[in-house]
Amino acid sequence: MKDKLVDTASELFLQLGFKSVTMDDLAEQMGISKKTIYAHFRNKTDLIDACACSIFDKISAGIDCISDQGLNPIEELYEIKKFAMMHLKNEKSSPQYQLKKYYPQIYKSLNAKKYNMMKDCVLTNIKRGMEMGIYRENLDAHFVARIYFSGVTSLNDDDLFPKAGFPMPQLMDQYLEYHLRGIVTPKGRNILNTIINSNQE
């Protein structure tokens, strides 16, 4: 029951936002009483913490699977972006923004885990791209990895990028292209242009 609660609550939180969904909403959605929920979680904050960790673990495992496929580094980043967007439901309700605003301790803990996971993933991606000659050989990989993480994180800031004017799928595409065009070689640019053109068809 606990796993089912986390899965259902995670779906609701991603669709409607961490602040917007109440325990009553979750109980009604599952056809159970609130007492059943509180038998597994002391309060809503505990439930949100469990859901945030569950979402992170699923996305992290999926990214590991993509990284193991042996794609070239540019294709790999696009596949990871596609996978993350699918699991975050396009973030129509700005759940990460709500998490930061209303549950800052959970957000801080989650962000630290995201940073470590993404830093390692992007560092490996950059180094492989440099070895393959599709990223510039003079890159400071640690700097680029941190700048990339900083930029991706800022996309979830609803003050900077209001969802009404900046839908997340387009925003992620634009940011990924912006990032890659700054680090690719002419060989890498050909690969990037092919991917962009195929995505537009």
Q: Is residue 195 part of a domain?
A: yes
Average pLDDT of 94-111? 87
- Residue-wise DSSP of 28-94: HHHT--HHHHHTT-SSHHHHHHHHHHHHHHHHHHHHHHHHTT---HHHHHHHHHHHHHHHTGGGTT-
- Mean pLDDT value across the chain: 91
Q: How far apart are CA 74 and CA 128, in angstroms?
A: 10
3-state class percentages of the chain: helix first, strand second, coil last, to nearest 5: 75, 0, 25
pLDDT exceeding 70 applies to what percent of the chain? Answer: 96
157 DSSP assignment: -
Average pLDDT of 111-121? 89
Q: Is residue 25 part of a domain?
A: no
Q: Is residue 127 part of a domain?
A: yes
72 phi and psi, to 5 degrees? -70, 155
pLDDT at 201: 58
Q: Is residue 2 part of a domain?
A: no
Total structural domains within the chain: 1
Per-residue pLDDT at 11 exceeds 60: yes
**Residue 89 CB contacts under 8 Å (≥ 6 apart), including other chains:** 14, 15
CB neighbours of residue 4 within 10 Å: 11
Q: Is residue 95 part of a domain?
A: yes
Q: Is residue 189 part of a domain?
A: yes
Q: How far is CA 44 from the centre of its chain?
A: 23
114 with 30: CB under 8 angstroms? no
- pLDDT, tens only, 33-84: 999 999 999 999 999 999 999 999 999 999 999 999 999 999 999 999 999 8
pLDDT at 96: 76
Q: Is residue 169 part of a domain?
A: yes
Residue 144's domain is classified under what CATH number? 1.10.357.10
- pLDDT, tens only, 123-143: 999 999 999 999 999 999 999
Q: Is residue 16 part of a domain?
A: no
Task: Please give the C-alpha separations between residue 92 and each of 77, 89, 157, in angstroms, as whole numbers.
Answer: 22, 7, 13
Q: Which domain holds residue 70?
A: 53-200
Average pLDDT of 1-17? 92
